[in-house]
Amino acid sequence: MSRALLRFVRLSPTKARLVAREVQGMNAEIALASLEFTPNKAAKLIAKVIASAIANGGYDAKGVVVHSCRVDAGPVLRRFMPRARGRATPIRKPTSHILVEVLSQSEINALQTKKPSKKTVANASVGDKKGKKVEGKPADNNSSKKVVSSAAKPKSQAKNQKLKDK
């Protein structure tokens, strides 16, 4: 896996994320070709970062997949525009950090063959200290209804429940 990071780009992260989501999981060669014809400032910058990540790993663009393309928010440059009657309104100029990770086909195959270890958890019934059932888990094995404390219910339902209990 190789990665490339472009920091402090004068580009809005929300606009860049629209393009970044499009190329995730794509073949790097196809991603570069599609970004070349996307009329967007973010597309040009993300294409440069993908090309840099490919070069960092010493890969060929045909055998590489864009594993992740992440756009994080950077610092915001704050400027002010003069307005009427001596006032000023703020102008936000956001910056972003673009991170691209690429994987070769052999690395992807190795990740897919690994099986994640699953932790076994005993399904013991657990009740709280008051003897009431916890949401979704019975306090004893005989009951199967869910009981929710009156604090979680709306006031009208809580009053009706108290009247029924009497």
**pLDDT tens across 26-74, in order?**
999 999 999 999 999 999 999 999 999 999 999 999 999 999 999 999 9
| pTM score of the predicted model | 0.67
**pLDDT tens across 96-155, in order?**
999 999 999 888 888 888 866 665 444 444 554 555 555 555 555 555 555 555 555 566
Q: Domains of the chain by range and CATH? A: 2-81+88-113 (3.90.470.10), 128-166 (no CATH)
Q: Which residues have a Cβ under 8 Å from the Cβ of 127 and sit 6 or more positions away?
A: 133, 134, 137, 139, 140
Q: How far is 50 from 38, CA to CA, in rounded Å? A: 15
Query: Which pLDDT does position 12 carry in this prediction?
Result: 97
Query: Which pLDDT does position 4 carry in this prediction?
Result: 97
Q: 28-36 and 13-23 helices cross at what angle (nearest 10)?
A: 130
